[in-house]
Each structure stands twice: as structure tokens, then as C-alpha cells.
Amino acid sequence: MNRRLRPIRNLVLRTLAHSPAFRNGLARRLSGLVYR
């Protein structure tokens, strides 16, 4: 990732982390349950 874009990416991810739907979707992908 470009050095200048990193702070923007971090801000977007921090904002999305407050969304339960995003957190649940991420947890499902990381656990591998989405591929079953």
C-alpha cells in the first residue's frame, strides 16, 4: 500500500470496525465458515 494512502486506509478500517455487520462478516471469512 502506498505510504500516503495508509492513514486513509486505517481511518476507513477503524470506522468500519464499529459496524457489527462488518465485524461479523470479517469473522466468518477469517474462520473459514463462509467457504462451507
Predicted confidence at residue 10, as pLDDT, reads: 95
Contact 26, 18 (CB under 8 A): no
Residue 1 has pLDDT above 80, yes or no: no
Instruction: Tell me 18's DSSP state.
Output: T
User: pLDDT for 4-36, tens place per residue?
Assistant: 999 999 999 999 999 999 999 999 999 998 887
Entry pTM: 0.60
Gyration radius (Cα) of the chain, Å: 13
Cα separation of 2 and 19, whole Å?
A: 26
Predicted confidence at residue 2, as pLDDT, reads: 87
